[in-house]
Every structure is written in C-alpha cells, then in structure tokens.
Structure 1
C-alpha cells in the first residue's frame, strides 16, 4: 500500500505553479502587469518609435496645443511632448533599474554572506549598514551632484547604495532564521559547498521577499529620481519624467496639461509596482505549505542472534587502540558551548568511541546525555557557539578536528553520510525530492544530469518507494514522514559512503514505519558493507540493528561492548537502570480506574 495517502494535502497545485501563473488569476495584478508590460516595451523601443527627435526645437511648437502631427503638443522649448515622453520613459526606467541593481548586489550579497557566516563579518556588515541608513539621502545626492556633476547614472548608482540596507536587513534576518535549519545541515553533509548552499538553498528561501521588496524599491527609485529632476538637479539635456514635470510646472499657468503626462507616467508606474508587490505577497502567503503535524514516537522491540559476551569498558583502552579495523576513532572528545558573559559549558566530557568497518554501532542514552552533540562533532556540524575543546577525531587515519572545515568538507557526503532525526525538516521545501537527490550526485560524483536522475530513481526504488517517478517530482510536503525518511536514507547512501551516522532515524515515525525503516537500514548496510553509527535512546533499535553499543550518561560513555553482552550482563548501574526501564520483563501496569470509581 502506498504511503502517499498518509501525507496531508497542502495546496499541491499552487506549490507547483510559478508565482507569475498565480498572479495571472488576480485581476488587479493582471491589470498592473499589463501596464508595466507596456511601460517596459516603451522603455525598450521608445526612442526609436518617437515621431521626431525629442531634442529638436521649433518656435512653432512652443507651448503648442495638441495636433495631428503632435498629439500631445509642444513644451516650453518647442519640443514634441510625445517624443520626449517616449524617450524619457527609457531614461527614467533605466536609471531606476540601475539603482535597483546596485541595491541588490550590495544588499542581497552582503546579507547572504553576513547572515550565513555570522561572527565578525556579521558585526562589521551590520555596523556599516547602520551608518549608510543614518546618512541623509538628499544631502548625499546633492553633494554627489556638486562633486561629480548632474549625471542621472551617477546619482542613481549612489542612491542604489543608499537603498541597499533595505535588502541587507531583509535578507540578513531571513538568512539568520534559516542558516541553522536541518536541511541546510543536510546539504553540508551531502558535500555541497558553502557557495552552492547559499546560492540554492538559502537564496531560495529569501527570493520571494526580495522580489516583493524590489517592486517597492523600484517605485521609490522612480519617485526619487523624478524628484531630483523636478528640482532641476539633473542633466537638463537628457529627457526624463522629472525634467518634463519641472518644465510643466514652470508653464502651469500657460499650459497646465504639460504636467499631466509625466505625472501620469510616474504615478501609474509607481502604483502598478506596489499593486504587483502586494499581489505577489498575498499569493505567496496563500500558497505557503502548512507545517505537517509530527507523529508521536513509538518504541520498537525485537531480538537478535547471540554474540560474543565480552564487555569493553571505557577505561580499558587496549581494544580501542589496537584494533586495525577501526574506521572512526574518537579520543577524549570534549565539546563545549560558549556562555553569555564568558566561559563555556561542556556537553561532551572526554568521550572515547570506536566504530569498525562494516559494523553497526549504537550510541544510546537519555535525552541530554550528549550523544547527538558527539555525532555533530564528528560531522563538524556543531551549532553556533559550539566547539571542540579537547580530544581528537580520526576517520580512516585522517584527523578531522585539526584541519578545520576543509577536512570535513572533503569527507562529508563522499565518505561520511548522515541520516537525520526529523525527515521533513531536513528536506528543503522549495525544491522537489528529485532535485535534492540529483544535486549531490552531480556535485560529489560528477555525474551528468541524466545519469544522476537515473541513479536517483533507482535509489528511490531500492529504498522501497512504490512510485519512484511520482516521488521524484513531488515536493516534501506532498509525501509522508515515512517516505521522507526513506528519501533521506537514499540520499545518504547515494554516494557510497564508508560510514553513515543515523541520528534517531525512527523517532518521528509510527511503529509500523519504524520497523520498515530499520529493515531498510539493515539491508543497505549488509549490501554495501558500510559502517553505521546509530544515535538513539531506544534499546529496541539497538537490539534489532546493532553489533556493538556504547552507553552515554551526562556527556560520558559509561559502558561499551557487544550488544548481547550488554543486554545479558550490564555492569554499570546506569545501563542497568536503562534496561530496567524496559517494560517487557517488568510488572504489568494496573488497570485504569473507571471515571465512576475516581469520582466516587
């Protein structure tokens, strides 16, 4: 039975349609877009369709009334008003677009980089943005005109810099909100570079507000440019809407109609941009997927064949050091997080851990024991403020902790893969399932688009998805949690890693899907001979899947050894308490009292 039926229906048709197609269903947006299309066409071809040269003067046309040859009459200098209006549209729109492009380049790029990396770069960028925002725009533009001359292009480029904080603040806040999202970590683990993550996954989140903000700021740029020209601060030889407005105001008593045409151009264009921005915002809010409700976790219980009953404790390091089959070796690992006001708090306190090639190793403990932080340290994915304070992490003989982010980037996605706890949070809602599987295959393995697609479809089929083509084209909100976890497992094994770290891979799933996912992990591990480190609080998962287990308490490993040895002869009191909490061998709970007995 397909799992598609379990997924909630969240506006799938709207999610697949482009923003432009959705705007076409809005009458107000259609009217505004139609007007802007006309303005765009005029801006491109206006100079060439003008009846006469817009700079040509004639005494007969000085403040002349409209006629067949000159439909809008003449201005105070005897120039054809229609020709100047067509030519001015090109100059005015081009100047406003220049300001917008400069603002986008400075603000968006700066906001993406500062928001993503944070730290000193974030502080300096925010400080510079505050200074730019504090500058009085009109004073800066007047000073620029005095120093550089009355050039519309120079003025608009400077005004673009003054507009850039609007983009910077918008993007910066949005990026800070998503840079620690699980799907961003998943992209890092998949082997994607920072530039690709920023350009694809981070920018994808903020592109909608950028589009809306761009429409609004373009209208502001048109208005400010027209205001400067109206005040006579521009180049009078270049036809602009503001210059025509200035000329019409000077002749307001002789020919007030001269003010009508540039006023309509400025006002209607600005209104149309605002209407499109508002319609786009409404459509994006209406079609945004609603968050899916999380399933309640359920325990899995099973048994496993007998294994050798030799227990290795953390203080017995001989087996940890001399085993030649060790793939991942962690020694004396200390992970700490900075505290406000100085100092740090240790969350992992001197952990020793070995994972052998082809082995399934369970890292078990209650919530807050430090097991997930240990896994994140191995992956190089500690949250902001977290750092490795002491110890070492070796993978296949190479130190990961000493070489910095570069060493992690060379192994993540290629040799070490990750299966996260929250399947829906680790898939980017802006992209289809297929695109998120294909991207790492192309980046890490260098496959062509066709080869990557074929391999992704084969992987989806292998992990038990009944309709791979449907899942490949679906968005994350269109599939169930169990299917999303299968997709993430497919992505984890897609590049044939030597080690897979699975962090609570079944916690968010119901009991039936849990068993299926565990069977899948076990089968894939046997097929590919890869090592698996499973982080869990569930002894049922350990019993069902693992060869060895390490028990964590309060940031330390208190007992380690083969699974059956730990189950049959636990020696540490914490391990005994965890096993004692399993209800299978304990006394049954008393039946619940009826409501009548309680109220009696």
Structure 2
C-alpha cells in the first residue's frame, strides 16, 4: 500500500520523478551479465597470463633444439610434443604469445596515441587544425600498407616490433576519422554549450563530456585493429617475412604448414591460439561497449519532452515605480551598443543582428521579446561569447560591469562566464549530460572554477539545490537527468547558474517547455533570486505573459533590430510600433470561451441506423 501511494505521488508531483527509478547496474555488473563477454574475457585473461608467465610455465627454452627428437609426440616433459627441429611446442607457444600479443598491443597503442587526441581536437575545434590533420590522414590512407610494411622491413630490419610500429602509424587514421566524426556530432549538443558557459576549459569539456561518448566506438575499433594486427603479423610470418628464429604464432604456422603431411597436429595449436585470441578480443570489446552504454538501463534513454503550453494571457501590469525605469535605459551592469552579428565568410556573410542597443541594470529584469528568428538568442549568445559555429560579431560593443567582452580571449571569457555572467538555457533536459548524475554535473564547475574539494563541492551542490526549492536535495544529487521532471531540471540549471554567485543572468526561454504550474514556480524563483541577490536578468522569451509577470523593462526585436524599448507597462499597454501592437494583439486575452459542442438534432438515431 505504501509503495503504491509513493509511486502515485511520484507521478503527480511536477517537482519529483516522472519515471520510477529503475535499479541501476554498474559497468562491471552489466559486463558480468553478458555470458559471451565473460567467456571471451576469461580466454583473453588466460592467454595474457600465459604470455606474461611464459618463463615460469614453459618446460624449457623455446630455442633449444634436439634433431633426434624431431616430431616426437607428447611426453611427460613435452605435453604438446616437439616440432621439426626438436623444440618444445608448448614453450614456443607461450613465448610466441608474448611476441604476438606484444606486437599487436604496440600497434594499437601507437594508433590510439596518434589518432584519438588529434581526432578529439580536430572534431571539437575544427578550423585550420582540422584541415591540416585531415590532409595528413588522407595522405597516410592513400599509401599501400603492404608495400610500406615490406619497405620498412628492408630498411629498418625484420623485427616484429618495427613492423607493428609502422602498422600502428598506418591504422591511426581509422581512429582519427572515427573520433573526429563522433566529436563533430557531439560538439553541438546543448550540454556542451552549458559546460562552456559554466566556465569549464575546452580540455576539461573534452575529457569529461566528449571522451565519454567516444570511448565505446574506440573500444570496438581497438579490438578490430588488434585482431588485424595479430592476423597480419601471423600472415607475414607465415610467408617467411618475419623476425627469424624469434618464436611467434605465425612462424609456428609456417613451420607446421611445411610439415603438414608428416605431423598435421602441429598446425592445431598456433591456429587455435590465433582464433581464440581474435574471437575473445571481439567478444570482450562488444560486451564492454554494451556495458558502458547500457549500464543503468535507462541512463541513456530518450527523455520524454514536457508538454509545451500555449501562450499565457497577458495580465495588465500594475504601474511600476519611477525608480524601476523609464523610456531611457539605465544600463550599469550590461551595456550593448551597435551590436551586429553575421554568419558566413567575409565575401558571403549574412548579417542577422543589426545595430542592437540594450542595457540591464543591477536588480533589473529586462525582457528581450520577439518571434522565432528575430535575433533574440543570437544577441544573448553574443553577450555570452558562445555563438554557433560560423557566427561572429562584425561590429559593436558589449560591456559587462564596464569591461569590454568582445576583446577578451577565451581564457578571460571563461573567467567571466559562471562568475560574473551566468546562463540558464532553453530545453533543460537537453542541457544536462545523460551520463552523469545531477550532483556530479553541478560539482564539476565548482571544482574547476572555484577550486573546491570534492566534499566541499558536494556540500555546496546540496545547498544550491535547497536554495532553488528542491525537496530532498541529497537524493536529487544522486539522480540522473532522465530520473527528474522538466521543472526540476530547470531548477537544477538555475542552481548551476547561481553556483558562481554571478551578477548577471542570461535566461533563454527558461519556461518554454514547462506546464503552467511549474512555469509560475520557476518565475517566482527567478524573482526571489533577483530580490535576494540584486541580480540583473536578461530574459529572452516570446511569451508576453512571462514578460508582464516578471520584467521591469522590455526590448522588442524584429528581423534582428530593436524596434521598441521601454517599461513593461508602457510597451504592453501603449505599444507604439506596429510590430509590437501585432504581438500584443495576437494574445488571446479577452477572447470569449467556446460554447460546448452538441450533436446536431437532425442526426439519425444510432439504433435505428443499425437496424
């Protein structure tokens, strides 16, 4: 009974979980639930241990030969028999594992070191580095691999380590292209922009939010490359293009094939070792990939979008005190002058924001209003320095507390963001990384920008969640984004924005995806934070009801220009510009209620029609 009531309360309370929490598995637990992965892992561990312990397990030295015992069968001291030169097969198999696995590991390591970091940087930063790196990758991929390996053997020597080193360089482009492609898709995610605005450096964002998305494909690619390296190495040895008398599985295959008619059993052991090792690599990689992506079941599940609400009616705002503002903007905290934003190159640039003037004072909430595509968000992004790729400020000035923002480098902008200027984005669920808990995501900027310890950051996170009126903040800090409602997610983002105690808050449509009840609670929260902290707020919205309820002044944008600016009462009650009058007139404020629907009296009776 108590569980039923608890689940019902979770479903009806907008500030609690919309989904019942499913038991989460750790990555290790999820891996252990894969029988094929466990079997492959067991085989791979045995092979690696056998290679590492070869000096202990081998009955004798792998190079010791006795022609009198050639092709001798299994005996007490030689459990797998002897080869054509009287050498112990088991000893050569164990020592061959060291050479074969070591060479494959070297090739994979070289490919990872060369391919993954360059792919991360090229995919995240792009521009000139991406162009140069892609050109070099295409050059390497155009080289015939086998010819390069043969030439390397002739020049550098026949050792397996040299061949695997060269192979690692040749396969590094596959890691580069894989990593770059995944990162290029991820870098546009809203939670990456949210991490940038919170003050995290690019290296921190790549290591925390981007690399976690790339790791599963990299694991699969590493397993495939490892299998290819083992097979290629064995193939070269089988053809006699190897490292002489050094024991390898490929050399054992070569010798067994030459004597297959006299002793066919010799080909079984190196062939079995190659097959089992390659298969176990693939099984382990697949199971590990599934465990990383599926641990916790719904951790990466698609979140259901909260219902979008229609525009709320515009109440007639009460007259504001004279100190709240006038037709002349006050400024003092944020001042935007002559701002113009364009997309594209100089020859084909398209200007989307034209000569915008805007001011926000301490303790003042200014609404930036306009229909979709009017340039509201582009103006806000210019203030934050997070314009999408291809966008740039062509002219104008943006000052925060008297400091020119547009002239700052990226390091100085990171210092400004989160501490002086904070951001509450649109679509709260998309701005939270689904792979980390709420507490972890809020604590990361605190540890990075403020230098707090792990314990101090956690205590600060709990206090922030409590300040934004979240019940049971300790429990919420342990939840993942998919386990909370849209209203709670918006409160979490507000808590993250306030973590650095900023003086200016840029809120981009903070209530768009919320129902009316939760929308009112979020607006009340913003109003309380403004009153308690003297916070200046730039509110980007198309909802005139929100503007009437919260804002002190309003700036109306159309086609990238400010067409009207004034107090909320002046703009909404006595709009001067035709576009503003059209916006206000589009709100269904005094529309009569629709009459209830009744069926026509002439409709035939259903019983008679059936008869």
Range of TM-score over shorter length = over 0.9
Give the one of 26, 31, 45 matched to 1:17: 26
Report SS of the residue matched to 2:138: helix
Question: What do you get for the CA RMSD once the two structures are aligned?
Answer: 2.3
> Structure 1 residues 574 and 599 mapped into 2: Cα distance closer, same or farther (>3 Å)?
farther
Check if 1:378 corresponds to 2:346: no
Which is worse superposed, 52-61 or 259-268? 52-61
Give the one of 191, 200, 206 matched to 1:192: 200
* Contact in 1 for aligned 2:16/2:488 (Cα 8 Å): no
Instruction: After TM superposition, list the pairs within 5 Å mapping 1:439-588 onto structure 2.
Output: 439-584=444-589, 586-588=590-592
Query: Could you tell me how far 1:399 is from its partner in structure 2?
Result: 1.2
| Whole-Å separation in 2 of the counterparts to 1:582 and 1:439 | 42
Report SS of the residue matched to 1:154: helix
| Whole-Å separation in 1 of the counterparts to 2:531 and 2:54 | 69
Determine the structure 2 residue equivalent to 1:107.
115
Query: Could you tell me how far 1:190 is from its partner in structure 2?
Result: 0.5
Determine the structure 1 residue equivalent to 2:441.
436
Give the one of 180, 196, 216 matched to 1:172: 180
Which is worse superposed, 127-136 or 272-281? 272-281
Determine the structure 2 residue equivalent to 1:70.
78
Which is worse superposed, 491-500 or 389-398? 389-398
Which is worse superposed, 31-40 or 497-506? 31-40
Determine the structure 1 residue equivalent to 2:223.
215
Report SS of the residue matched to 2:23: helix
Give the one of 306, 313, 318 matched to 2:319: 306
| Whole-Å separation in 2 of the counterparts to 1:447 and 1:274 | 42
> Structure 1 residues 50 and 181 mapped into 2: Cα distance closer, same or farther (>3 Å)?
same
* Contact in 1 for aligned 2:216/2:293 (Cα 8 Å): no
1:430-481 deviations in Å (ceiling 9; x for gaps): 1111110010001111111100000001111221221212211111111111
* Contact in 1 for aligned 2:122/2:180 (Cα 8 Å): yes
Query: Could you tell me how far 1:391 is from its partner in structure 2?
Result: 0.8
Report SS of the residue matched to 1:335: strand
| Whole-Å separation in 2 of the counterparts to 1:332 and 1:353 | 9
Give the one of 290, 305, 329 matched to 2:302: 290
Check if 1:427 corresponds to 2:432: yes
* Contact in 1 for aligned 2:220/2:286 (Cα 8 Å): yes
Determine the structure 2 residue equivalent to 1:316.
none
| Whole-Å separation in 2 of the counterparts to 1:371 and 1:597 | 52
| Whole-Å separation in 1 of the counterparts to 2:148 and 2:212 | 34
> Structure 1 residues 234 and 337 mapped into 2: Cα distance closer, same or farther (>3 Å)?
same
> Structure 1 residues 123 and 592 mapped into 2: Cα distance closer, same or farther (>3 Å)?
farther
Check if 1:126 corresponds to 2:134: yes
Give the one of 41, 53, 56 matched to 2:49: 41
> Structure 1 residues 583 and 120 mapped into 2: Cα distance closer, same or farther (>3 Å)?
same
Question: TM-score, normalised on structure 1?
Answer: 0.93
Determine the structure 1 residue equivalent to 2:69.
61
Determine the structure 2 residue equivalent to 1:7.
18
| Whole-Å separation in 2 of the counterparts to 1:597 and 1:346 | 60
* Contact in 2 for aligned 1:311/1:566 (Cα 8 Å): no
Which is worse superposed, 20-29 or 504-513? 20-29
Query: Could you tell me how far 1:102 is from its partner in structure 2?
Result: 1.0
Query: Could you tell me how far 1:294 is from its partner in structure 2?
Result: 3.8
> How many residue pairs get matched?
587
Query: Could you tell me how far 1:426 is from its partner in structure 2?
Result: 0.4
Query: Could you tell me how far 1:415 is from its partner in structure 2?
Result: 1.1
* Contact in 2 for aligned 1:362/1:534 (Cα 8 Å): yes
Query: Could you tell me how far 1:363 is from its partner in structure 2?
Result: 0.8
Q: Structure 2: which 5+ residue stretches go unaligned?
A: 1-8, 605-611
Which is worse superposed, 31-40 or 573-582? 573-582
Query: Could you tell me how far 1:383 is from its partner in structure 2?
Result: 0.8
1:327-382 deviations in Å (ceiling 9; x for gaps): 1111110111117x951221111100011122111111111110011001111111
Which is worse superposed, 288-297 or 301-310? 301-310
> Structure 1 residues 409 and 146 mapped into 2: Cα distance closer, same or farther (>3 Å)?
same
* Contact in 2 for aligned 1:308/1:562 (Cα 8 Å): no
Determine the structure 1 residue equivalent to 2:274.
266
Determine the structure 2 residue equivalent to 1:85.
93
Q: Structure 1: which 5+ residue stretches go unaligned?
A: 314-318
| Whole-Å separation in 1 of the counterparts to 2:568 and 2:492 | 29
Query: Could you tell me how far 1:150 is from its partner in structure 2?
Result: 1.0
Report SS of the residue matched to 2:493: helix
Check if 1:238 corresponds to 2:240: no
> Structure 1 residues 476 and 597 mapped into 2: Cα distance closer, same or farther (>3 Å)?
farther
| Whole-Å separation in 1 of the counterparts to 2:353 and 2:602 | 46
Report SS of the residue matched to 1:505: coil
